[in-house]
Structure 1
Amino acid sequence: MIQFTPESYDALVDHAERGVPEEICGLLEGTREDGTAQVTAIHPIENVATHRETRYTLEPEAQLAVMEAIEGKGTDVVGFYHSHPTGPPHPSATDEAQATWAGYSYVIVSLSGRPFVGSWEWTGEKFEQELVSVGRD
């Protein structure tokens, strides 16, 4: 399960909507315990993919800097996010082929129609869908 604070959820959807027609991407900050990722902040990172309307690549130096800053605060990187401006509301074949961080959440904001936020944990071999919730314990 992945749980967003209301502020982090709203920031995520807002970032995706402002990025249209391109995919946006970034890191999720929070904690993970007892199988639940608690997202307390999102960190937008520039998408440097060649075809940003249908692909994403986090800018490597910014990704590393954000990861170090998160760890320096004593929190964790719990996952990654990107958008699908025209769908689908699930990981694409490209998303699966490029996933590398086992045990992390991969959040997708689909904007084909009303915004849909889904999350999948990468097992190292495949994506397993996670329940997404918004709120506080």
Structure 2
Amino acid sequence: MTADPELVVPIAIRDAILERARDGHPEEVCGVFGGGYDPDGRSRVHSQYPADNVAETPRTRYRIDPEAQLELFDRLEERGEEIVGFYHTHPRGPPRPSDTDVARATWPDRSYLIVSLEPHEIGSWRWRADDERFEREAVVFE
């Protein structure tokens, strides 16, 4: 039996993402989480790697440039970290995956943390490629 998925995020990283979200408003901000990855259980964030949002409509979409993403992945590897997942904001929306988020999800069993500024909420989801859906996961801030 597998445990319910859980994402553990240090409070300092949560606060840094919230600050980026406020500074980037009204556009979505995004980035990558590094740390310890568990496909079914508890993944632990050790660091966050901010990325520029290069989407054509950054107020309603996010996209990390593929070359920049590879550079971030190299930095993670150099530090001995695994890709835990990704984060982005919904400045004026709910902290759950949009239809576009579902259509563009490509990293099986990784976490997708979403920060909403209006209302102020944080949610996290795991992409389950086997049945092409997001599964809600608990977020623990410590």
TM range (shorter): over 0.9
Q: How many residues align?
A: 134
2:134 aligned with 1:130, yes or no?
no
Q: Aligned residue for 1:29?
A: 34
Runs in 1 of length 4+ with deviation above 3 angstroms? none
List runs of 5+ in structure 2 lacking aligned partners: 1-5
2:87 aligned with 1:81, yes or no?
yes
Q: Deviation at 1:118?
A: 0.7
Report SS of the residue matched to 1:49. Answer: coil
Q: Deviations over 1:53-87 (max 9, x none)?
A: 00011022111101011011111110011100000
Counterpart CA distance in 2 for 1:123 and 1:13 is 26
| Amino acid of the structure 1 residue aligned with 2:69 | Q
Q: What is the TM-score when the length of structure 2 is the normalising length?
A: 0.90
2:112 aligned with 1:106, yes or no?
yes
Q: Deviation at 1:107?
A: 0.7
Counterpart CA distance in 1 for 2:56 and 2:28 is 11
Q: Aligned residue for 1:119?
A: 124
List runs of 5+ in structure 1 lacking aligned partners: none
Report SS of the residue matched to 1:131. Answer: strand
Q: Which moved more, 1:6-15 or 1:47-56?
A: 6-15
Q: For 1:20, which of 10, 18, 25 is the aligned residue?
A: 25
Q: What is the TM-score when the length of structure 1 is the normalising length?
A: 0.93
Q: Which moved more, 1:70-79 or 1:32-41?
A: 32-41
Counterpart CA distance in 1 for 2:19 and 2:83 is 20
Q: Which moved more, 1:117-126 or 1:33-42?
A: 33-42
Q: Deviation at 1:44?
A: 0.7
Q: For 1:5, which of 4, 10, 35 is the aligned residue?
A: 10
Report SS of the residue matched to 2:37. Answer: strand
Work out the percentage of aligned pairs sharing the same amino acid. Answer: 45
